[in-house]
């Protein structure tokens, strides 16, 4: 089941512009230089519909999982994949993919963000994904652009759709809090 | 003003320093250019489109740390001259590196940059008028492994953050030598002291992401252009915004993250200032950006 079907879309909709539903941020003001483009990263963005390993694949160890509490929604950028479900399918990119244009505005994070996947276009939902050596995929919805305001129905369907693409053993980190 | 008691060498590499007869006769441009000569050029010559660089030189030379002898500013109109000085034992702590020298030759620019990275431990600001095209050269393996050593800035850019390009470079240099200093933010003079909230001046970027650029500028005006423990506390107190916090789950949650809030019992509201006092500014920013922050 490669691409989104009407059934998926019903529970994922609406498509949201970056920061839509975020009460504190807006596309016009908060999208920083280096966060808006994706042309530079097209070779690194993986289309998840075929359930292959994403480019620059890296697994998190069980020890790292515990240290960074990734199974509870904690963050470990070194082994984090950002994901977004756009109007077609789920797209992934390794978070540590360098983004020098962003460095001037985010010196603490000179690597890609969710809008570098979409080119700042609309998407249904997004978050982070960790492939663990224990065979599980830990999924969260931590994205100020596409995830923070997602509803429970959106989140359930996002997990289901990613599973429909063939990814196995997906665990929602936000359910482990 | 508390100083770190160490003199820092700042290398400024650019081939477009104004060329004047007197300096040409003295051979100034074919060797390391001292700060007095750079300042003379900044005061009296026309820098054309490089007036931002001129202002940066003036800001450095008129700063208190410079006057007290903690900053040694040296100019080079060719990277080879700087590399030669490094080989002779002059150690740069910060390098402001112009990408273009005469005709654009990106291969040479990459080669020199890599040499500067490998032959020194300096932090390097890659400072260019063609910033948009540079990432293709810098997003490479040989540079990635040193990515914590350099930062790209577009000359005269005002769009990156609350700091203009040159303001960011200035604060970086001053914070290398002092615990407190007079910085510039959006052209305004700001007295900054390291404090319990912000360990370095660049952490002001956290405040920008929490409050938004325009709001933060307004708040800085309200605290008389001074950022220290007391005034940052006031800025944090000035908002009615809050997060949710669970002591039991050890988590902070953004009010926008409603579906997660609905799942957790015993959440209590916690003000921005309480979050910053109890945890950190970084945790506050993380919770607002990611929707949750574990603590």
DSSP state at residue A123: B
Separation in Å, CA B96 to CA B42, B74, B79, B123, B157: 16, 10, 11, 9, 15
B8-181: CATH homologous superfamily?
Response regulator (3.40.50.2300)
Q: Which of residues 100-119 of A touch B (CB under 8 A)?
A: 100-101, 103-108, 110
Q: Report d(CA A101, CA A110) in Å as an integer.
A: 8
Q: Report d(CA B97, CA B34) in Å as an integer.
A: 17
CA distance A110 to chain B (A): 8
The whole-number pLDDT of residue B46 equals 94
Strands (E), B138-193: 150-154, 180-185, 188-193
CA distance B6 to chain A (A): 25
Q: Report d(CA B245, CA B87) in Å as an integer.
A: 55
- Helix (H) / strand (E) element for A127: namely strand A125-131
The predicted-structure confidence for A109-157, as pLDDT tens digits, reads as follows 889 999 999 999 999 999 999 999 999 999 999 999 999 889 999 999 9
Cross-chain CB nearest to A105 (options B161, B263, B289): B161
Q: Does residue A163 sit at the B interface (CB-CB below 8 Å)?
A: no
Interface with B, mutate which of A104, A108, A146 (most B CBs under 10 A): A104
Locus of tokens 């994904």: A129
The predicted-structure confidence for A19-33, as pLDDT tens digits, reads as follows 999 888 889 888 888
The whole-number pLDDT of residue B164 equals 86
Cross-chain CB nearest to B294 (options A30, A74, A107): A74
Q: Which of residues 150-179 of B touch A (CB under 8 A)?
A: 151-154, 157, 159-161, 165, 168
The whole-number pLDDT of residue B77 equals 95
CA distance B31 to chain A (A): 31
User: pLDDT over 90 for what percent of chain A?
Assistant: 78
Q: Report d(CA B49, CA B295) in Å as an integer.
A: 48
- Contact B259/A150, CB-based, under 8 Å? yes
Locus of tokens 């508390």: B2
- Contact A177/B292, CB-based, under 8 Å? yes
Q: Does residue B144 sit at the A interface (CB-CB below 8 Å)?
A: yes
| B154 interaction partners in chain A (CB closer than 8 Å) | 104
pLDDT 10s digit of each residue in chain B, 295 long? 566 678 999 999 999 999 999 999 999 999 999 999 999 999 999 998 888 899 999 999 999 999 999 999 999 999 999 999 999 999 999 999 998 877 667 788 899 999 999 999 999 999 887 666 777 778 778 888 888 898 888 777 776 678 888 999 999 999 999 989 999 998 899 999 999 999 999 899 999 989 988 889 999 999 999 999 999 999 999 999 999 999 999 999 999 999 999 999 889 999 999 999 999 999 999 999 999 999 9
Q: Does residue B265 sit at the A interface (CB-CB below 8 Å)?
A: no
- Written as six digits, the tokens of B260 are 């997660």
The whole-number pLDDT of residue A165 equals 93
Q: Where are the alpha helices (DSSP H) in A71-151?
A: 100-103, 115-118
Helix B165-177 to helix B51-61 angle (10° resolution) is 20
- Three-state SS string over A56-77 comes to CCCCECHHHHHHCCHHHCCCCH
- Contact B286/A75, CB-based, under 8 Å? yes
Bond into A14 cis (ω within 30) = yes
Q: How many residues does chain B have?
A: 295
Residues B38, B57 contacting (CB under 8 angstroms): yes
Q: Does residue B131 sit at the A interface (CB-CB below 8 Å)?
A: yes
| B260 interaction partners in chain A (CB closer than 8 Å) | 174, 177
CA angle B137, A108, B254 (to 5 degrees): 135
Residues B8, B173 contacting (CB under 8 angstroms): yes
Q: Report d(CA B38, CA B29) in Å as an integer.
A: 11
Q: Which chain B residue has the Cα nearest residue A35?
A: B160
CA distance A163 to chain B (A): 21
- Answer whether residue A1 shows pLDDT above 60: no
Residue span(s) of chain B under CATH 3.40.50.2300 come to 8-181
pLDDT average, residue stretch A103-111: 82
The whole-number pLDDT of residue B139 equals 75
The whole-number pLDDT of residue B2 equals 62
pTM: 0.87
CA angle A97, A102, A108 (to 5 degrees): 80
The predicted-structure confidence for A60-86, as pLDDT tens digits, reads as follows 999 999 999 999 999 999 999 999 999
Cross-chain CB nearest to A103 (options B151, B212, B249): B151
Taking residue B207's Cβ as centre, other Cβ atoms within 10 Å add up to: 25
Cross-chain CB nearest to B256 (options A33, A110, A149): A149
Residues A171, A71 contacting (CB under 8 angstroms): yes
């Amino acid at each position: 089941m490669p691409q989104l079907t009407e059934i998926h879309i019903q529970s994922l909709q609406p498509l949201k512009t970056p920061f839509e539903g975020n009460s504190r941020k807006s596309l016009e003001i908060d999208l920083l230089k280096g966060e808006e483009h994706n042309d530079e990263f097209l070779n690194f963005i993986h289309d998840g519909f075929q359930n292959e390993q994403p480019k620059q694949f890296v697994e998190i160890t069980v020890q790292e999982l515990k240290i960074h509490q990734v199974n509870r929604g904690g963050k470990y950028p070194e082994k984090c994949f950002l994901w977004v479900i756009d109007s077609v399918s789920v797209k992934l990119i390794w978070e540590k993919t360098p983004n020098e244009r962003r460095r001037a505005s985010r010196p603490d994070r000179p690597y890609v963000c969710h809008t570098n996947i979409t080119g700042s276009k609309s998407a249904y939902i997004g978050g982070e994904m960790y492939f663990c050596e224990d065979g599980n995929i830990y999924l969260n919805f931590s994205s100020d652009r596409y995830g923070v305001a997602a509803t429970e129905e959106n989140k359930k369907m996002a997990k289901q759709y990613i599973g429909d693409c063939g990814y196995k053993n997906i665990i929602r980190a936000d359910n482990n809090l | 003003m508390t100083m770190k008691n160490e003199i820092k060498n700042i290398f400024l590499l650019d081939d477009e320093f104004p060329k004047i007869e007197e300096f040409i006769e003295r051979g100034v441009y074919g060797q390391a250019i001292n700060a007095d000569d750079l300042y003379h050029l900044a005061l009296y010559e026309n820098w054309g489109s490089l007036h931002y660089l001129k202002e940066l030189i003036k800001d450095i030379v008129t700063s208190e740390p410079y006057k007290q002898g903690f900053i040694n500013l040296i100019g080079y109109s060719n990277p080879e001259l700087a590399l030669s000085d490094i080989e002779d034992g002059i150690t740069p702590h910060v390098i402001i590196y112009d990408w273009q020298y005469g005709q654009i030759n990106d291969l040479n620019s990459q080669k020199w940059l890599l040499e500067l990275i490998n032959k020194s431990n300096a932090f390097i600001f890659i400072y260019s008028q063609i910033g948009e095209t540079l990432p293709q050269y810098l997003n490479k393996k040989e540079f990635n492994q040193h990515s914590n050593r350099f930062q790209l800035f577009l000359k005269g850019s005002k769009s990156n953050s609350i700091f203009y390009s040159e303001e960011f470079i200035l604060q970086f240099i001053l914070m290398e030598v002092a615990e407190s200093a007079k910085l510039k933010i959006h052209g305004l003079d700001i007295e900054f002291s390291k404090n319990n909230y912000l360990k370095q001046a660049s952490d002001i970027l956290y405040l920008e992401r929490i409050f938004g650029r325009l709001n933060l500028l307004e708040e800085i005006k309200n605290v008389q252009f001074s950022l220290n423990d007391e005034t940052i506390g006031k800025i944090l107190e000035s908002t009615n915004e809050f997060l949710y916090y669970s002591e039991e789950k050890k988590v902070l949650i953004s009010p926008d993250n409603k579906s997660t809030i609905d799942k957790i019992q015993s959440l209590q509201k916690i003000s921005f200032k309480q979050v910053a006092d109890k945890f950190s500014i970084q945790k506050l920013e993380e919770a607002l950006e990611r929707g949750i922050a574990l603590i």
